[in-house]
Each structure stands twice: as C-alpha cells, then as structure tokens.
Structure 1
Amino acid sequence: MLEQAGEIQPWLGASFVCGCGQEHTVPIRSVVIERGALAALPPYAAERGYSELLIVADRRTMEAAGEELLQRCKAASLQAQACVLAEDERGELAADERAIVQLMLHMTPGVQAIAAVGSGTIHDIVRFVAHRTGRVFLSVPTAPSVDGFASVGAPLIIGGFKQTIPASAPEAIFADLQLLARAPQAMIAAGFGDMLGKYTALADWQLGRELFGEPYCELAAEMTRQGLALCMDHAEEIAAGTELGVRKLMEGLTLSGISMLLVGHSRPASGGEHHLSHFWEMRFIQQRRRALLHGAKVGVAAVQMAALYEAAAGLTREAAAEAVAARLASGDAPSVERMRAQIEAGYGTIAQQVLAENGLGAAADSAPAASVPAASPQLPQRIAARWDAIREICRSVPSPQELADALRRAGGPAAAEELGIEPELLAESLRVAKYVRNRYTIMRLCEWL
C-alpha cells in the first residue's frame, strides 16, 4: 500500500484493512484536477441523480466561478439555486454561527446536493450543514489555499472558540486548474504554508506515539509526506502560480486531506503549528481585527515550531535528563493546577471551553493527574528514558531557516511580525496555545526542557 501513498485515484471509494490494524474508508468518489474541471460537475450530478443543487459562494467566489457553474447546471437541465453568503460588518466571512444560519435559511426540502464554491471557510460551512441536513457535499475549490477540501472535520468558531466538529467529506472534488491559477498569489502561498506545516504536524504525531502509545498509521503519515514532497519538489512553479504548480499543490493538499479521512482525525496534518494559528485567530476575533489567511498563519507557526524542535534536537540524553530533573526539583513542571491556571489566565471568556477540551472541565475538578496525560506522574521518567528516540523525531524536522526560506520563495510570510503578530501575542501564544487541542506536541514537550 505504501508504494501508492503518493497517488490519489487508488484510494477513492476504497475500504480496506490497513497495516495499522484499522479499517479505513475513503468516501470521496471522484477527484478531478484538470483544466475545465468545472464543466465536469453538472454531468456528474446528473449521473448520480442529483437534480436539485444549491451552489454556495461568497461575493468574490460567486463572480469567479459560481455564476458559471450556475449557468452550466441550468444548461444541463438541473435545478440550481445560489446562496451568496454575506460578509460581516468588517467585510469578512467566518465559519461561525452567523454563516451557518445564513446557509440553513437557504436550504429547501428538495435540495439533494450542496456545492461549496470557494476556499476553506466556505467549505467548512458547507460540510457542516451538509452533514447535519443529510445532503451530498460537492467541492469546487477556487484557490489551492488549504488542505481541508478533502477532509471530514469542520473547524468552526463557536462562541469565539475554534473547534473541529465531525462533518462530511465531499463526495467529489472539481478543481479547475485555470480557475486555481487565477487565484491571488497570497492564497496560493497560503496553501504552500499549510503543507509546510506537515513537517511539524507529523513529528508531533510521532511524539504522541512515542510517549503515550497514541495510535499511528504509517500509510496516513506517508500519504502526507508524499503530498508535502510534491509541493517541495515544485516550489518554484507554485511560487510562479503556473498551472503545473497549482496542480501539484492541489494534489498535495488533496493527499493531506485523504490522510485525515483514513484515520478519522486531523493528526496526520495538524499539530502545534495549527494550535498556534488557531490561538492567533481566536485572539484576533476577540480584538475585532481582520482575519489572516489560515495557511499563512500555519506556515509562520511551523517556523516557530521548527525552532522548538531544533532546540530539543540539540540536547543530549544526559542534558535532557538534567533538564527534566531540574523542572521537578524546582516545581516548575506541568501539573493539573498549573494547566488550569494557565488556561484561565490565557483564554479569558472562553476558558471553560478550553478546560473541557483538556479534560479539566467541571467534571474533572477533582480528577487525579494521571487522568490528564500531559500531567502524568510517569511522563518525566518516560521522556528521559526515551530521549534517543525523541531526539531522532526532533531531528526529522527541517531547520526554521529552511522553512522560512521555502515560505519566502513561495511568496508568503515567514515571520510573525509579517502577519501583524506582536511580540507580546507571540510570546503568550507560545505559552498557552498548546491547550487549543488536547494533543501532545513539541510545545508540551518543551515544558520539561
């Protein structure tokens, strides 16, 4: 199976028992990444018996592709209507309660399939509503900006807290290369940044396996690696925005999405770099600042995570053991009480949601430390005993300078200040963004070093 990890077609509609011991299913039936892919959607819908479609876009993506798709559907004798999601008072669209209600109000009993025409935000809104209403979800990317087109989770902002909610994978993806190549270069660079974050995401997943026996699928990991390699091997074409470049980027993003489908969660493609990105996003929402491109944030955050990995890789087994011992002796080590205090101080009005995410909600008030893995009494000894393996994981991550250079070649930002992230916000996020998800990452490991 591993020899086909860099291909898309063999996995479509597949169901099989993997070497990891789990049965994997890929519900996506078709992926079309080519010139003129937009024209393939109406005949696909007709063949599948979807005679009534709802096309969902925002103002910009309706103009870029929605109008053309609407006319093509009507020419194919399909009943098609459009839902153009309105922006908020800041001229932005977020995957939040407001947008979900907008789409729900456009749903009629006869709609059989919903086509998301746009990038990540529109896809997240549509996949959630399609899942909750039992409709088929079709994907029409207008920019190769995120790896979420093929995935199943919907990252939504609910009550100001960004959480990933299980939803629907698309039944089919129609990625028109002419359309993707016309996307703003900043969005193409954002897709590259999202892929670059896989270096640190995969390493974080390996830390979880090494320290906690977390389930790990080599096929999903290899699929992500192969998608990343496609992008790195064609970085110059991606930077130039050529059709070859956007094809390879879109293929890489799709492979990353399928890797998440295989295991049913985002671990193969999302780690500490995404937690940092999500924290910045939530803080920007609280401060009513304009949103940043997801992939741009992830790329910059990956550079920050790579710096932590580089520092950890420089520690010998003896130095790591001494660092862990010093943390224990000083009392400056992770504990349930310390985690709770940091979350309450760092997250303010959404602290209760973050506490619950980390197993520290009301029901866990008197829970022993052993029930919170990151505060397990056995963890310091485990880190010291397994340091050689941990160090090899750390060495697998490219240097922060290598990642920054790659981002800049693609035309994207590489430093926090280029995103408008102030030094104070960066420092705070490096302290408490590890709590955005209850997963083990390099940020949590560095609490001991």
Structure 2
Amino acid sequence: MSGETTAQLKYDPTDMPGLLSAVREWPDADRVPSIELERVIVDRGAIEQLPVVLESLSPSEVREAIVVCDHTPIARRGAPLKPAVRELLERAGWTAESIELSGGEREEDLHATFEAVDAVKSRLRPGVPVVALGSGTITNITKHACFSYAEETGADSLPLVFCPTADSVLAFAAAMAVISQAGVKRTWPSRLSNVLVMDLETLAEAPRRMTIGGIGDLCPVFTSFADWHLGDVLGLASTRVASWNILEDVRSYLGLCARELGAGTETGLELLSKLIVLGGLSATFAGESAPLSGYEHVTGHMLDMGAEHFKRGIASHGSQVAVALIPHAIAYEHLLARLEPGRVDVSACYPSFEQMEARVKSTFEELDPSGAMGAECWEDYSTKLRAWHEARPRFEAFLEGWSSHRRTLAELTSPARTIVETLAAAGHPLRFEELDPAISETEARWAFEHAHLMRKRFSAGDLLFYLGWLDERFTTQVFEQMHQLIAGVRGHA
C-alpha cells in the first residue's frame, strides 16, 4: 500500500440511527434483538465528551458515577489517563468513585472471572451510571456486573459507558461477556453500553501488541461463517443474514487496509475502531459469538487454559486467534480437497458417550488434576455430542449433497495464503513462537488437535475429528504446511 486508503463504510457505527435503519430492511430483521447502544463516538477528543455523555444518560440532580478500571498504566497525550478522567468528571461537577481491580502491571494479568464480576457488582447502586475505563477484560467484567445486577435485583438497567483504552477486542460492541468458569473460558449472555467512547488519542498510546490483537480478533471473518454454516446445515446452529451483512465493511477493508491498520495512524485507528464495533454488532445480532468465533477461537481458549500449567503468561486474545486461524484455514483446504463422501464410514463417525467422556476428561487432567476443568468441558461437549448423534440423517444428507456444500464452504473461506498475507501486511505475528509471551509449537499443536473437546459449538474441527482425520499425524502435516506458507510469504515480502 503506497498511501492511506479512504474507507467509505457502508455501515458506519458512528451513525447508529442510520445503521439500525439499514438493518430494519434486511430479511431477518425481526430476529435482530433490540440493543442498548445508542451512540458510538470515534474521535481524537472523544474522552472529553464523557461528562456530557453521562449527563445525557443520567439527567437527575445526583451527579455520581462509578469508574471501573485496573492498575495498568494508561497514557493520553503523554500523561496518566485515569487521574485525568477523574479530574475531568470532577470539574464538571461529578463525584467519581473508582473501582480498581487488581491483576498486575498489564491488563492481560487480570482475568475475567465471576469473582471479579462480583467485586464490581457489590459496589453498584441503583441509577448510578457506570464507566468502564480499560480494554477487553475490564469491559467484560463491567458489562456482566451491570447485567447481573439488573437481573438479580430487578432494578432498571444502569446507564453504562465503555471507554476502551486499546483497539484490542470485539467485546466493546458484543452483548455477551467472556467469563471463565472452572478455568474454562465461556461466553455468557450480557449487555451493551449505552454509549461507546473511542478516544483516538488514548488508543494511539496503547501498546502496539494490543492494537495488533484487535486486528487479529477480526480475522476469523476469513473462515468463521463456514464453521457457522456447517453447524446450520447439520441442525446444530442457526445462522443470521444480519450478522453476515453487518460485516460487509470488515470483509472489504480488513485485507485492503491491513498495512494502514497495523501502522497505527490516526486514520488507521479510526477505521479499526469502527470495524471492531461492526464485528461486535455481528455477534450481538446473532445472540452469540459464532459470526466471528470458529475453531480458531477454541484453539486460542485452549492455549489460555494451558498457560498456568505451562508456566507462561497469556498472550493477546486476538493475536492468538489470528495465528490459530492459519492452521485452521489449511485444515479447511484439506477438507475441501480431500473429502470423498463415498469413502466415509458414517457409523464410525459416531463415537459413544463413554468413549468421549473418557477422552475429554483425560485431555484436561494434566492441566487440572482436580478434574473440575475436565468436568466443565465434558458438560459442554456432551451437549454437542448428543446433538451430533441426533443429526445423523442430516449428516448423511450433507454427504449426499457434498458437491453443493463444498461450493458454499469454498465461498465462505479465504485461502490460507490470503490470511497470512493480510497478517504479514499488518505486521502481525505469524507463528505461535512470535506471540508475547511466546507459545511453543508443542503447546500450539496440542491445542489445535484437542480444541474441539472444550465447548459445544460445532466447527470444522469437530467434523475433521468425527471423520477420523484430526489426529497427531494430520496436525503435523498442517503445521508443516503452515511453516512453508509463512516462509513463502515472507520470502516474497
């Protein structure tokens, strides 16, 4: 790319009334839930509008606000952001109560757990607006605390504002929260903010690894609808046109503007911010994370679950997902090229519950000898296995109509080389060892081979396993191709 590309978004989230008006014209508009998000501000001075935003949400005489953050040092214009926000509110006549969650020097050291959610929820009060000042973890904890507070007390929904400090995840516009249970990452129904304040000067000072992670979190668009389509065809999921349509700009600009997005220019950050909002809305419209969460995500979750056992920190969620997308895309290429329905032993594709319970629990026993992690994964996986058995007639019909399904899946997946080229242009890591902290290929191969065992959502990883393909030999072949592909792309850069 020789210069900056001017992106003309078809669905600009900074015009929420216009965006929602377009959504109402789509064929499945009646399936799109109503959302709390009224306004998205993406601007270099956005944070300075926070007092006015709070006034619009809480016009009563009681001018109190709760600000949720952590101990991570965050700067804006070279000065600490959090004291500046507090002073900004106080100058406007607001009393700002801070809830500072402790995790470590980096936000990645704080984990979204129900303990953290409860810590925030215990400090909430009826009618007092809440501001989440942080990145993905703070956003997930705060939104779910507010959601749970309203659910449990029967009170009106609290006014809620998200002020992201890094363009790192899609959580800012997703009406769900990723909260760990028994050491296993799970996605729970939650809520959106009323206003999303994306301050470009703050985002510009975020660590580059977090901005790169935000680009990575969008990259599942290259294959995720194929995974979702597989589930839909087999009766294990239900896709939505709205979730596909709202990602048109992401599909258009993610590859085209990859270099600009990765460079962190103001224009690039503005575009990335808007694409991240569209990505989150896609999940919100679906009522689940499936539109941008396929097998690459469960591979990333497996890496998180193994971090403590392997004595390393947790890498950026989005970056893990993007690197895991490369072997996933290669696996899709194998599926599309090699599946011969006439040679499939359908009966062999249906392992017993006893077999799979033993496999699931033994897989996670090394990570958690207490058995809690294995039990949590088996509870989720058994739901998928039961649905898979019940869907046998659909699977047989899928095989009979493979030529048609193959064409559809090919249209819904991008070549692995395209994905690697996009990541390379953005300056994104391409190997697991290049993540921060680094992840060994041994761990990555383990996660890729066994990720299908940790949750109930169906993906190509499940199909490959039930076909008898997904084993150590197949994983080795995929990773060897990954190395060759990366070397080829870098050799031509």
Partner residue in 2 for 1:25: 34
Contact 1:343 1:354 (8 Å CA) reproduced: yes
One-letter amino acid matched to 2:45: G
Of 324, 327, 345, 2:344 maps to 324
Segment of structure 1 superposing worse, 334-343 or 27-36: 334-343
Contact 1:65–1:142 at 8 Å: present in 2 too? no
- Output one character per residue of 1:370-399: Cα deviation in whole Å (capped at 9) or x when no partner: x43267433542331121233224323222
| 1:24 to partner: Cα distance | 3.0
Q: Would you say 1:218 and 2:241 are equivalent positions?
A: yes
Partner of 1:38: 47
Tell me the equivalent position of 1:96: 113
Aligned-partner SS, 2:112: coil
Checking the alignment, whether the CA contact within 8 Å between 1:204 and 1:442 is kept in structure 2 is: yes
Paired residues of 1:434 and 1:443 also in contact (CA < 8 A): yes
Shift in Å, 1:88 = 5.1
256-265 vs 429-438, greater mean Cα deviation: 429-438
Contiguous gaps of at least 5 residues in structure 2: 1-7, 151-157, 366-370, 470-493
Question: What is the RMSD computed on CA atoms of the aligned residues?
Answer: 2.7
Q: Report the counterpart of residue 442 of structure 2 in structure 1.
A: 424
1:391 alignment partner AA: R
The partner residue of 2:196 within 154, 167, 173 is 173
* The 10-residue stretch of structure 1 (345-354 or 15-24) with the greater mean CA deviation from structure 2: 15-24
Cα displacement string for residues 68-119 of structure 1 (whole angstroms, at most 9, x for unaligned residues): 22111111111212222112599821112443344345x1536612211111
> Structure 1 vs Structure 2: percent identity of aligned residues?
24
Partner residue of 1:347 out of 359, 364, 369: 364
The answer on whether the counterparts of 1:12 and 1:27 sit within 8 Å (CA) in structure 2 is no
Quickly say closer, same or farther: Cα 1:358–1:115, change in 2 above 3 A.
same
Select which of 129, 144, 168 maps to 1:113.
Answer: 129
Q: Which amino acid aligns with 2:34?
A: T
Q: Distance in 2 between matches of 1:102 and 1:399?
A: 45
Residue of structure 2 aligned with 1:442, choices 433, 450, 460: 460
Name which of structure 1's ranges 430-439 and 259-268 shifts more when overlaid on structure 2.
430-439
- Which 10-residue stretch deviates more, 436-445 or 378-387? 378-387
CA apart distance, 1:45: 0.7
Q: CA deviation at 1:408?
A: 2.3
Matches within 5 A, 1:258-277: 258-277=281-300
TM-score (norm 1): 0.88
Mapped contact 2:121–2:148 kept (Cα < 8 A): no
Deviations 1:163-192 (A, max 9, x none): 112222111100011111222221111111
Question: In the TM superposition, what whole-angstrom CA distance separates every residue of 1:8-45 from its partner, at most 9, and x where no partner exists?
Answer: 22245999585225253122011001110101121011
Deviation at 1:424, TM superposition (A): 3.1
> In the TM superposition, what are the counterparts of 1:54-133 in structure 2 within 5 Å?
54-61=66-73, 63=75, 64-87=80-103, 92-105=109-122, 107-109=123-125, 112-133=128-149
Matches within 5 A, 1:234-249: 234-249=257-272
Change (3 A) 1:163 1:243: same
1:147 and 2:161 are equivalent in the alignment: no
Quote how far apart the aligned CAs of 1:154 are.
0.9
Q: 1:339 to 1:170 in 2, by over 3 A?
A: same
Q: 1:435–1:232: structure 2 CA closer, same or farther, 3 Å change rule?
A: same
Determine if contact 2:258/2:423 at 8 Å carries over to the other structure: no
Q: Distance in 2 between matches of 1:12 and 1:29?
A: 10
For 1:390, the aligned partner's letter is H
Alpha-carbon separation, structure 2, partners of 1:96 and 1:440:
25
Alignment partners' CA distance in 2, 1:171 and 1:201: 28
- Distance in 2 (CA, whole Å) between partners of 1:201 and 1:122 is 26
CA, structure 1 residues 7+65, in 2 after alignment: closer, same or farther (shift >3 Å)?
Answer: same
* Code of the aligned partner of 1:73: L
Counterpart Cα distance in 2 of 1:292 and 1:112: 34
CA distance in 2, matches of 1:245, 1:73: 29
Residue 420 of structure 2 is aligned to residue 415 of structure 1: no
Specify whether residues 13 and 160 from structure 1 end up closer, same or farther in structure 2 by C-alpha distance, changes over 3 A only.
Answer: farther
Asked if structure 2 preserves the Cα contact closer than 8 Å seen for 1:16 and 1:24, the reply is: no
CA contact (8 A) 1:200 1:272 kept: no
In structure 2, relative to structure 1, the CA distance for the partners of 1:395 and 1:13 (3 Å cut) is closer
Q: How big is the shift at 1:272?
A: 1.0
Offset at residue 215 of structure 1 (A): 2.0
Alpha-carbon distance change, 323 to 418 in structure 1, aligned in 2, over 3 angstroms: farther
> Counterparts of 1:324 and 1:237 in 2: how far apart (Å)?
46
Q: Which amino acid aligns with 1:378?
A: P
Show the counterpart of 1:366. none
Which residue pairs with 2:154 in the alignment? none
Q: In 1, distance between residues paired with 2:387 and 2:238? A: 17
Could you say if the C-alpha distance between residues 118 and 23 of structure 1 is closer, same or farther in structure 2, counting changes exceeding 3 Å? Answer: closer
Distance 1:223 1:138 in 2: 23
Matched residues in 2 for 1:55 and 1:342: separation? Answer: 45
Name the structure 1 match of 2:65.
Answer: 53
Indicate if the aligned counterparts of 1:231 and 1:248 stay in contact, CA closer than 8 A.
no
Partner of 1:291: 314
2:12 aligned residue: 7
**C-alpha spacing 1:374/1:183, structure 2 compared with 1 (3 Å):** farther
Residues 54 and 111, structure 1, Cα contact 8 Å, conserved in 2: no
Partner of 2:476: none
In structure 2, the residue corresponding to 1:378 is in which secondary structure?
A: helix
The amino acid of 1:60's aligned partner reads: T
1:285 is paired with a residue whose SS is: coil
Distance 1:59 1:395, change over 3 A: same
Q: Are 2:203 and 1:203 aligned? A: no
Please name the residue that 2:279 is paired with.
256
Indicate conservation of the 8 Å contact 1:192/1:249, yes or no: yes
Q: How many residues align?
A: 432
SS of the residue 1:421 aligns to: coil
Contact residue 298 and residue 451 of structure 2 kept, 8 A: yes
Task: Go from structure 1 to structure 2 and tell me whether the alpha carbon gap of 1:100 and 1:213 turns closer, same or farther (over 3 Å shift).
Answer: closer
Q: Is the 8 A contact 1:273 1:301 kept in 2?
A: yes
